[in-house]
C-alpha cells in the first residue's frame, strides 16, 4: 500500500495506482488493521498537483472513490467524514462533466440533497471563513501543549524516590480527577472542531460543484437542471457562509436574467456570473490548512483539486 501511495501522487502513474488500489478493495485487503494505510492512498491522491476533475485523471478518480465507499466500515469517524467530502469532488463533481443527461441530473440531485442536509451556517462559521493558518495552528499547538503538560505531570506523579505515595495519595486522586475532566473537555473540543472541518469541506466542495455546473450552462439540455439546482442553492443559501452566499446570489441573479431572455424569445449566450466563485477558488487554493483538517494542501496549488 505504501508503494501505491507514493505512485498515486504522480499524474503519469495515477491510472495504474488507482487500479491497484481498487484491486486491494475488491480482494478484501482493506480491513481495520490496514485502513490507515489505505486511507493514506486516498489522501495522497487528493494531494496530487493534478486536480481530481482534470480530464486526464477524471475516470481514475471516479472509479477509485466509487469503490472506496465499500471501505467505510473500516474507517474511523474523521476518515469517513473526509471520504464523504472527497467523494463529492471525485465522483459527483466529475459526473457533472458527463454527456449523459441522466447522469447529469442524478449528480444535480445528489448536490441538492447534500445542500439540504447542511445545517444553517452560524455567525461563527462566517467569522471562521476568514481564519488564517496561524489561527488554526495556534489552536492545534495549544491542544498539543496541554496534552504534553498533562503527560509531564503524570510522569512526575509516578516518580516516588522518597516513598511519599501514602502522603500524596489524596492529592494524586484529585489530580487524576482533574486530568480526566480535562481530557474529556479536550475530546469534546476535538469533536466540535472535526464537525466544523467536515462542514467546511462539504460547503467548499458543493460550491465547486455549483461552479462546474454553471460553466455547463451553454449546453442547452443542461440549462433546466442547472436552473433548478441553483434555485435550490439560493433557497438554502443560509446553509452557506457569507462569501458563499454572495456567490450563490449572484449566480442565481444571472440565471434569472437568462430565464427572462428565453421567455421573451431573445437569444442567450449561456454565460453565467461566476466571478464570485472564481474569487472563492483563489481563496481556497491559497489556504494553508492541512488536507487532514480541511480541503487544502500546504499553501501551494494543491487545493485547486477541489475546484476543477
**How does pLDDT run across 55-103, given as a tens digit for each residue?**
999 999 999 999 999 999 999 999 999 999 999 999 999 999 999 999 9
| E strand residue ranges, the chain | none
287 pLDDT band, cuts 50/70/90, is low
Residue 241, by phi and psi: left (phi above 0), alpha (psi -120 to 50) or beta?
beta
Task: Say how many domains are in the chain.
Answer: 2
Residue 139 and residue 257 in one domain: yes
Task: Assess if residue 304 is contained within a domain.
Answer: yes
Q: Are 21 and 271 in contact (CB under 8 A)?
A: no
Contacts 24+ apart (CB under 8 A), 26-30: 26/67, 30/71, 30/74
Task: Assess if residue 96 is contained within a domain.
Answer: no
Each residue of 202-213: pLDDT tens digit? 998 999 899 999
Residue 68 and residue 194 in one domain: no
Task: Assess if residue 93 is contained within a domain.
Answer: no
Which CA distances in Å does 93 have to 49, 58, 183?
18, 10, 39
Residue 22 and residue 127 in one domain: no
| Structural domain ending residue among the three candidates 75, 96, 116 | 75
Residue 151 and residue 61 in one domain: no
Q: Are 241 and 203 in contact (CB under 8 A)?
A: yes
Range with lowest mean pLDDT among 9-13, 181-185, 203-207? 181-185
- Given a cut of 90, whether residue 303 has pLDDT beyond it is no
Task: Assess if residue 170 is contained within a domain.
Answer: no
Residue 111 and residue 3 in one domain: no
Residue 66 and residue 108 in one domain: no
Task: Assess if residue 146 is contained within a domain.
Answer: yes
Which of 110-119, 169-178, 267-276, 285-294: highest mean pLDDT? Answer: 110-119
Domain span holding position 61: 1-75
| Structural domain ending residue among the three candidates 38, 56, 75 | 75
Q: Which three cell numbers stand for residue 89?
A: 469532488
Residue 126 and residue 216 in one domain: yes
Residue 270, by phi and psi: left (phi above 0), alpha (psi -120 to 50) or beta?
left
Q: Which three cell numbers stand for residue 297?
A: 494542501
Task: Assess if residue 302 is contained within a domain.
Answer: yes
Give the DSSP letter of residue 122: P
Residue 58 and residue 110 in one domain: no
Task: Assess if residue 83 is contained within a domain.
Answer: no
Give the DSSP letter of residue 79: H
Distance CA 65, CA 298 (A): 23
Residue 50 and residue 127 in one domain: no
Residue 151 and residue 14 in one domain: no
| Structural domain ending residue among the three candidates 75, 95, 115 | 75
Task: Assess if residue 267 is contained within a domain.
Answer: yes
Residue 200 and residue 53 in one domain: no
Residue 256 and residue 144 in one domain: yes
The predicted structure's pLDDT at residue 179: 72
Amino acid at each position: 500500500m505504501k508503494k501505491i501511495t507514493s505512485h498515486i501522487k504522480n499524474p503519469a502513474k495515477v491510472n495504474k495506482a488507482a487500479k491497484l488500489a481498487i484491486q486491494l478493495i475488491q480482494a478484501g485487503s482493506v480491513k481495520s488493521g490496514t485502513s490507515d494505510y489505505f486511507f493514506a492512498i486516498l489522501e495522497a491522491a487528493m494531494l496530487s498537483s493534478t486536480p481530481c476533475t482534470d480530464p486526464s485523471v477524471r475516470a481514475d478518480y471516479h472509479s477509485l472513490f466509487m469503490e472506496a465507499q465499500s471501505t467505510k466500515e473500516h474507517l474511523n469517524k474523521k476518515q469517513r467524514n473526509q471520504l464523504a467530502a472527497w467523494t463529492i469532488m471525485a465522483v459527483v463533481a466529475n459526473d457533472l462533466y458527463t454527456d449523459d443527461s441522466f447522469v447529469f441530473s442524478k449528480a444535480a440531485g445528489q448536490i441538492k440533497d447534500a445542500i439540504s442536509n447542511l445545517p444553517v451556517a452560524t455567525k461563527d462559521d462566517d467569522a471562521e471563513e476568514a481564519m488564517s493558518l496561524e489561527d488554526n495552528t495556534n489552536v492545534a499547538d495549544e491542544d498539543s501543549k496541554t496534552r504534553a503538560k498533562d503527560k509531564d505531570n503524570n510522569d512526575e506523579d509516578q516518580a516516588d524516590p522518597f516513598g511519599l505515595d501514602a502522603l500524596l495519595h489524596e492529592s494524586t486522586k484529585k489530580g487524576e480527577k482533574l486530568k480526566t475532566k480535562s481530557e474529556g473537555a479536550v475530546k469534546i473540543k476535538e469533536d466540535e472542531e472535526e464537525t466544523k472541518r467536515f462542514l467546511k469541506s462539504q460547503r467548499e466542495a458543493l460550491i465547486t460543484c455549483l461552479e462546474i455546473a454553471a460553466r455547463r450552462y451553454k449546453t442547452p439540455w443542461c440549462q433546466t437542471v442547472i436552473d433548478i439546482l441553483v434555485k435550490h442553492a439560493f433557497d438554502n443559501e443560509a446553509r452557506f457562509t457569507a462569501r458563499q452566499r454572495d456567490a450563490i446570489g449572484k449566480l442565481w441573479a444571472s440565471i434569472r436574467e437568462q430565464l427572462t431572455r428565453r421567455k421573451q424569445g431573445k437569444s442567450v449566450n449561456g454565460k453565467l456570473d461566476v466571478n464570485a466563485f472564481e474569487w472563492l477558488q483563489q481563496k481556497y487554493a491559497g489556504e494553508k490548512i492541512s488536507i487532514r483538517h480541511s480541503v487544502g494542501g500546504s499553501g501551494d496549488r494543491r487545493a485547486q483539486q477541489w475546484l476543477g
